[in-house]
Amino acid sequence: MATIRQRGNRWQCIIKRKGHPLLSNTFDLRKDAEKWARQQERAMDAGQWIDRTEAEQTTLEELLKRYAKEVSISKRGKDAEEVRIEQFKKTNLAKYSVASITGQMVAEWRDSRLKEVSGSTVCRDLTLLSHVFSVAIREWGIALHSNPVSLIRKPPAGKPRDRILTSEQRAALVGACGQCQSPWVKPVVVFALETAARRGEILALTWRDVDLERKVAKVSGKTGSRSIPLSPACVSMLRSLPRSLEGHVFPVTIETLKQAYARAVTRASIQDFTFHDLRHDALTRLARLGLNILELRSISGHATANMLQRYVSIDAGDLAKKLAAR
């Protein structure tokens, strides 16, 4: 039987039931305390009661911190994921207890986020948030009725970006990167343009992964490990680099790289060209050199040819020239 008593200007409800922990909650109105008591006792009578104390006392921000410490730390792309987690922690959603977060709240955040970034970026954000809730429910024993992310629609990914640099723009970008305060920005960008490697793969690269004699490097990313060829320009650049004490080829943080790269793009007078577009540019140039689909996939690490196709821009004019040459 629930006991409800007034404490100051609020109402405290205490439920003692054999076989269950002592439950206590405080409300502004007596009717809210009575309603809560009925809900708890009804669930106990039906054998459906679960202890939601931890879920009610844990905020999403606290959950994200634990996820970063226990889950993200072991991932290959941990640096990029930690940046995404830090962005989540700054949202209003992060201030709520995980028990109170509904699908509607996540949907409102989704719609607001779509005004700032692409559908593809929001999809990646939602995938991470969904996994945070799933781990909390399945592995940490935090009692939630459901994963709120699973209740909402994901936005369409949108059309693949089609940004390719001209040779003049490419030279201007590399030159602008050379003006950055960090001496590592230019080498990172050159490596990206020459190898089509992902940002996380580049920043995780160590000298043990590089064989300058064979002109290959082993990169590890979200699709596993693979060996990629190094062009003469890439080998020359790598030979000129000092060796860092911790062994990383490019000892620069993802945040420093992001900010410096954005400023370099502006200095080069290039519009709307993200770091990931370097991968698109590199793969398109490799395709134009005549590499076949299997060779391109071995370099890019794409699981399917369809995914690779999103990154390679094929110009109809170039195809017409090939047909005319036959």
Residues identified as active-site: 198, 222, 276, 279, 302, 311
Q: Are 283 and 296 in contact (CB under 8 A)?
A: yes
Q: DSSP letters of 119-183?
A: HHHHHHHHHHHHHHHHHHHHTS----SS-GGGGSPPPP--SPP-----HHHHHHHHHHHTTSSST
Q: Which residue matches tokens 């709307």?
A: 272
Q: Name the β-bridge partners of 219.
A: 226
**Phi, psi dihedral angles at 69 (to 5 degrees):** -75, -35
Taken in order 168, 173, 179, 183, the sign of the CA dihedral is: negative
**Nearest residue to 280 (alpha-carbon basis) of 198, 220, 169, 215:** 198
Half-sphere exposure of 89 (CA within 13 A, CB side): 14
Q: Are 82 and 68 in contact (CB under 8 A)?
A: yes
- Read off the amino acid at residue 19: G
CA–CA separation, 148 vs 96, rounded Å? 13
Q: Is 276 left (phi over 0), alpha (psi -120 to 50) or beta?
A: alpha
